[in-house]
Amino acid sequence: MSDLAVGSSDKVVVECARSPDHSALFERHTSCVGSAKLPEWPEENSAAMARGRIVLKTLAMDSTRFTSGDLCGLLLELFKEAGLPEELSLSSVKRLILAVREHMYDNPYHNFFHAFDVFQTTYVLATTTFTMERLDAWERFALLAAARCHDLEHPGVDKGFVESAALEYAFRDKLLEKHHALRAFEIMKDSEIGVFQGISTASYYAFRQAVSGCIIATCPANHSEFAANLATLTGEGGVATKQFEMELLLRAADLSHVIKPFPVATPYTPHTTPYAPHPTPYTLHPTTFTLHPTP
């Protein structure tokens, strides 16, 4: 089913032969990426940036029509638009954008372009629902950082495949979303990236809890419980906490193709096809749109 080879003490190479179209070779580096190893900030393509700005705050944005360099520039624009915490420097945000790009694998679907897509959609949903206005600067950054990192180092297979192929040892946690969150903090805490310089301990832990909660909320296995909590909240006329609101927005953005213009949503469809050989443990209920274990 798969071949595993340990290349060196700090590097694990995993070959997945799960389908002819996706015999991917991916590497997982256990060390963090510091700025010394990061590429230069991409040179701005003014024509692409102008084209991107037209649709950047709308659901008509199609990340597949831009280079990853263009998308780095557009990511920075949205971070700035959201209003960054005053303790956070623009150069740290740039290094974070580059570091996360380095840690997104070349998967058919869970790749850098999907990460941009979810980040940008989260921004659009958070502004059009006025959630962004209710969040303070660190909470806004937490929501966007979570969106940016929500599939960090995604192996292109699901939790079931990771377990069946005995790949758990290659991840920080067998729940992939926990791995994404833990690696996000290892990168953000890297002194060369410098996200947390000047932040208080209390603010750091609040930020960490907010980001981790948002990323773990994207786990498909929690969908029924999440939908039930939302139904209870709306049925009883309750007030959502800011954390629940942030988790809801990121979760919605991660599944947002159904609310996008057809030409924007369709390019992603063929990229999910190679995932088909793995029987999903969940089935989408046709009327409630909740996930249930496949009988």
Binding interface with Zn ion (CB under 5 A): 151, 254
Alpha-carbon distance 121 to 261, whole Å?
13
Is residue 98 exposed (0-12), middle (13-18) or buried (19+ Cβ within 10 Å)?
buried
Nearer to Zn ion by Cβ, of 151 and 153: the residue is 151
- Smallest separation (angstroms) from Zn ion to the CB of 115: 7
How far is 34 from 111, CA to CA, in rounded Å?
21
Say if CB 85 and CB 106 are below 8 A apart: no
**How far is residue 215's CA from residue 176's CA, in Å, rounded to a whole number?**
10
Based on CB atoms, which residue is closest to Zn ion, 245 or 254? Answer: 254
Task: Return the number of the residue (190 or 254) whose C-beta is nearest Zn ion.
Answer: 254
If the CB atoms of residues 247 and 254 are measured against Zn ion, the closer one turns out to be 254
CB of 22 to Zn ion, least distance (A): 17
Would you say 70 or 151 has its CB closer to Zn ion?
151
Alpha carbon separation from 272 to 129, 143, 247, 275, 282 (Å, rounded): 29, 26, 24, 6, 16
In the complex, minimum distance from the CB of residue 294 to Zn ion, in angstroms, rounded to a whole number:
21
Compute the least distance from the CB of residue 278 to Zn ion, in Å: 16
Beta bridge partners, 29, equal: 11
The answer to whether residues 151 and 115 touch, using CB atoms and an 8 Å cutoff, is yes
Q: State in angstroms the smallest separation of the CB of 114 from Zn ion.
A: 6
Question: How many C-beta atoms lie closer than 10 Å to residue 38's C-beta?
Answer: 18
Closest approach of Cβ 212 to Zn ion, in Å?
16
3-state class (DSSP) for residue 2: strand
Nearer to Zn ion, 70 or 254 (CB): 254
